[in-house]
Amino acid sequence: MAGERAGTALDEWRFPNRATPVGSSAYYSLRFAPRELRDDLAVLSAWRYQIHEIPDRVADPGVARIKLQWWREELERTYTDTPHHPLSRVLQPVVERHGLPQAPFTDIAECVEAEILRRQPATEAELDATCERDLGTLFELIARCHGLHDADVLKTARRLGGFCARVYLIRDSGALIRRGRALFPSEQLSALGLSHEALAQREYHDRLPELLASAADRARTQLAASDLSRDLPVCIRIRVRILASLLDELAGADFAVVDRRLGLTPLRKLWLAWRESFSEWRMMNDE
């Protein structure tokens, strides 16, 4: 019976799961990961997804923090004892199998707490750090699952995760603003005579493209400074290629995201994923 329960839990979180649904960028990136790693990487993505669901599902900040604290304690149990949640019970062998450190998971939880408390970064550098501590840490964990432990490679993985997080913020900024959760540095808004509160009001929504164009420039600079080399897992490079294409799509639409959600078609994502994967295969066979 215990084996059946474990199997059922794994079935729920194996690839593809709710964090890596068919048609998503996450799906197409992991689809080209080594077969033996796909379920493990999907479990890591699911853990981040589960934590990020808290502020989406719970409106009361106090209640949301209580739920987040439970997950922090559950993370501790995952590393030291017997976890309670089915996802944690599936995560535990992934952690053990790849020797994953606890700190990246803690970073993600801290980013979610800042979101619950509506803490806004004061500077662009702080926003960069926030993005890297969130999706960037997931990219670091993915790299570690591929057996990569070089500090420079892990730093690059985090930086590229930060780039992807920036693009997602740009894509979702219209919805985030309507919910009072847009992330723009306070100093930038102040220089433009704006505030987070003002930006949430419809009469200021026409200022959004100006902010997003600046954010896009920052993201492109961040990407240009990163080494998208073959030292990185192909699934990370695919995700970055897809998000870079999405950024171009958003810019081509003049960042008109206030009342709609722009994105790439699944076919476009598949093409980008296949092309990046094929490029790696060709280079390996040319050596």
pLDDT tens digit string along 202-222?
A: 888 888 898 999 999 999 999
181-205 mean pLDDT: 83
Could you report the per-residue pLDDT of 242-253, keeping only the tens digit for each?
999 999 999 999
pLDDT band (50, 70, 90) for residue 7: low
User: 91, 17 in Cβ contact below 8 A?
Assistant: no
pLDDT at 282: 52
Q: Is the dihedral of CA 139, 142, 146, 152 positive or negative?
A: positive
For 279, other C-beta atoms within 10 Å of its C-beta total 14
Token code pair at residue 76: 């501790």
Residue 258 has pLDDT above 90, yes or no: no
Could you report the per-residue pLDDT of 112-131, keeping only the tens digit for each?
999 999 888 899 999 999 99
86-109 mean pLDDT: 97
135-149, 170-184, 265-279: least confident range: 170-184
pLDDT at 38: 97
In which residue are the tokens 């990046």 written? 276
Higher-confidence residue of 147 and 282: namely 147
Residue 3 has pLDDT above 50, yes or no: no
pLDDT at 131: 94
Q: Is the dihedral of CA 151, 244, 129, 104 positive or negative?
A: negative
Token code pair at residue 92: 């535990």
- DSSP code per residue over 93-123: HHHHHHT--SHHHHHHHHHHHHHHTT---SS
Q: Is the dihedral of CA 213, 219, 225, 226 positive or negative?
A: negative
pLDDT at 280: 61
Q: How far apart are CA 17 and CA 282, in angstroms?
A: 30
Closest to 135 measured CA to CA, from 32, 222, 71, 52: 52
Token code pair at residue 180: 């009072």
**For all residues of the chain together, what is the average pLDDT?**
90
Q: How far apart are CA 20 and CA 161, in angstroms?
A: 16
The pTM assigned to this predicted structure is 0.92
Fold held by 2-286: Farnesyl Diphosphate Synthase (1.10.600)
CA dihedral 122, 126, 131, 136 (to 10 degrees): -170
pLDDT at 1: 38
Q: How far is CA 198 from CA 180, 194, 204, 207, in A?
A: 10, 6, 7, 10
175-181 mean pLDDT: 78
Higher-confidence residue of 119 and 171: namely 171
pLDDT at 45: 98
Q: Where are the domains of the chain?
A: 2-286
Q: How far apart are CA 273 and CA 173, in angstroms?
A: 25
Instruction: Give percent of the chain with pLDDT exceeding 90.
Output: 72
pLDDT band (50, 70, 90) for residue 4: very low
pLDDT at 225: 87
